[in-house]
Structure 1
Amino acid sequence: MTLDQLRIFVAVAERQHVTKAAQALNLAQSAASHAIAALEARHDTRLFNRIGRHIELTEAGAAFLLEARAVLARVERAELTLAEYGTLLRGTLAVQASQTIASYWLPRHLVAFRLAYPGIDIHLAVGNTTQVAAAVDSGAAEIGFVEAAVPSERFTLVPVARDQLIVLVPPGHPWEGRGDVTIAEMMAAEWVLREPGSGTRSVFEEAMRPHLRSGSGLRVVLELPSNEAVRAAVEAGMGATALSASVAAPSLEAGLLRQVPFPLPEREFYLLLNRERAPSRAAEALVNIVTDAYPELLAQGA
């Protein structure tokens, strides 16, 4: 039994005429007759009584008409569902982003996406760079946003923004007001940093690596799982830290932190896609919002 056979049967039953049904469906009369005959033969059940030049439903045909209409209605709803997903009238998009991006860069883009596609539900999760990569790898998130490059052939990395890390200390710290800070002083200082696996920490440690002696490292006295916790600890007088300028801005303006003039490189924010999964229409729409050069950038990242 096929959907075409069901459609032909319903059209014939509603018109009680094979030729008129065939014309309505833009079919040859013989094709419509064959479809009805095939249904009756397959199930050894007569669906219509032929009375002169007209037909009428049998008891079995009348019962079958109710079921056929229900099936076709479900098919129509299923087709509408696919059409809505294809035209972004409905759907769900799972996104995971590292903390700095989720708190300071991504929200305005999510607002723009929501205004453009109000039928799409966005599920945003927040984690560090390692957690975001794991979510995209497993399929828990379709799109990831990270603060450090993820070295894996399974991912396509698309640069979408740049960010500046800065060194920060509390008021009254020995480095406050200094024109320069030596590497030796950096090595001797106590540091409050994000946890291993975070993009902020990875980029900072990579920037410091050329300045450190073999086998040595920074004195990390406190590791905290969020930018806000790190910022609050340093504001309370605990050591020095390195954070995004966006994260530090409110505390700098309020006089709760001081910036140390130690040069750190800019870092990239990356959009992360799984190479083995084709992006959905919703994912493509979000990527188009965060960058105007999606096809070209994807080609570069592939």
Structure 2
Amino acid sequence: MHYDLTDLRLFVAIAELRNLTRGAERVHLAPSSASHRIRLLEESIGTPLLIREARGVKLTRAGEALLRHARQVFAQLEQMHADLSPFAKGVKGHVNLWANTHATHTFLPESLSAFLRSHPQVSITLEEHTSPEIVMAVARGEVEVGVVAESVEGAEVVFIPYRADRLVLIAPVDHPLAAQPSTAFVDVLDQPFVMLHAGSAIHTFTMNAAAALGRHLEVRIQVRSFEAVCRMVGAGVGLGMVPRSAIPDGPARAALAILELQEPWAQRDLKVCVKKREQLSGFAAALVESLTGSVQDEPPP
């Protein structure tokens, strides 16, 4: 198949406007030139993309597939431009950092702010993944630095202590559980829960913890932040499980009862994960040093 970005831009314009002439105008082409390009594009692909009608055009199934993929292509191009633009502005280095939900929503904002203030020539891409996904990506060399709460047996990586924290159960202050200092996770699985959105690392972790007990968690509502979880729980929507560090101060905290979870997995000490510290690129090494100070590496499990 032979086509270029101009062909794809033209096709997207025509498909969105459902009109060849107006699509050609959007990309600054003459209608005759646009018609010729579309005909060559259809010949190259080997199937019609548009059905010509009296008042415009409509897409064939092949045209709908091409439109979907073309939009993805242009979205990727925009992301590429966004990723490259800092270098044109004088940024000298870039670090990819993967972290679990816990770290991303609690400690990392402050830590990364401090690092970037002292390293203005560096940019960071932060992606949220589950701890096992992060450990395996580091072990495979796909990402240099991760922040995790769990290890993966046999993964050839090292862990460096970052922050100590613990998952706790939160309930409305007038809930029957509120008088208890602690609870087992299994004892609250018949209660409705407020959770972070599906796909977040802590959502996956919590659902897996329930499944390991042969139970299914009733999720009443999903939100986008730990702060929103706390506010929903305080309003009586359901129970929540959050890191202790994520519970806000002030009126929002006053509306919550905080119960210790009795499970060993509730202790969620965060660690920086790298393959080999001595093999890190310069800016990745500087980031690890900023996050952990002079703390010694821990060997893999």
Quickly name the TM-score band, shorter chain normalised: 0.5 to 0.7
Any stretches of 5+ residues in structure 1 without a counterpart?
1-88
Q: Is it true that 1:96 corresponds to 2:95 in the alignment? A: no
- The size of the alignment, in residue pairs, is 207
How far apart are 1:109 and its partner, in Å?
Answer: 2.2
How far apart are 1:301 and its partner, in Å?
Answer: 4.0
Note closer, same or farther for the CA distance 1:277–1:131 as it changes in structure 2 (3 Å cut). Answer: farther
| Partner Cα separation in structure 2 for residue 225 and residue 131 of structure 1 | 22
Note closer, same or farther for the CA distance 1:216–1:101 as it changes in structure 2 (3 Å cut). Answer: same
3-state SS, counterpart of residue 218 of structure 2: strand
| Partner Cα separation in structure 1 for residue 185 and residue 292 of structure 2 | 38
Amino acid at match of 2:281: S
Note closer, same or farther for the CA distance 1:155–1:232 as it changes in structure 2 (3 Å cut). Answer: farther
Partner in structure 1 of residue 248 of structure 2? 249
Amino acid at match of 1:166: V
* 1:160–1:291 CA contact under 8 A, matched in 2: yes
Aligned residue runs from structure 1 range 75-86, under 5 A: none
| Partner Cα separation in structure 2 for residue 141 and residue 184 of structure 1 | 36
Partner in structure 2 of residue 109 of structure 1? 111
| Partner Cα separation in structure 2 for residue 162 and residue 124 of structure 1 | 21
Name the Cα RMSD after superposition.
Answer: 3.8
* 1:130–1:197 CA contact under 8 A, matched in 2: no
Partner in structure 1 of residue 215 of structure 2? 217
Note closer, same or farther for the CA distance 1:95–1:182 as it changes in structure 2 (3 Å cut). Answer: closer
* 2:128–2:200 CA contact under 8 A, matched in 1: no
Percent identity over the alignment is 19
How far apart are 1:270 and its partner, in Å?
Answer: 1.7
Partner in structure 2 of residue 148 of structure 1? 150
* 2:194–2:222 CA contact under 8 A, matched in 1: yes
| Partner Cα separation in structure 1 for residue 185 and residue 156 of structure 2 | 37
**Stretch of structure 1 that moved more, 97-106 or 190-199:** 190-199
Q: Is it true that 1:123 corresponds to 2:108 in the alignment? A: no
Amino acid at match of 2:122: I
* 1:148–1:199 CA contact under 8 A, matched in 2: no
How far apart are 1:167 and its partner, in Å?
Answer: 0.9
3-state SS, counterpart of residue 175 of structure 1: helix
| Partner Cα separation in structure 2 for residue 180 and residue 285 of structure 1 | 40
3-state SS, counterpart of residue 149 of structure 1: coil
Partner in structure 2 of residue 173 of structure 1? 175
3-state SS, counterpart of residue 125 of structure 2: strand
Structure number, greater radius of gyration? 1
Partner in structure 1 of residue 192 of structure 2? 190
How far apart are 1:154 and its partner, in Å?
Answer: 4.1
Amino acid at match of 1:288: E
How far apart are 1:205 and its partner, in Å?
Answer: 6.5
Amino acid at match of 2:95: L
| Partner Cα separation in structure 2 for residue 107 and residue 160 of structure 1 | 14
| Partner Cα separation in structure 1 for residue 177 and residue 286 of structure 2 | 46
**Stretch of structure 1 that moved more, 142-151 or 122-131:** 122-131
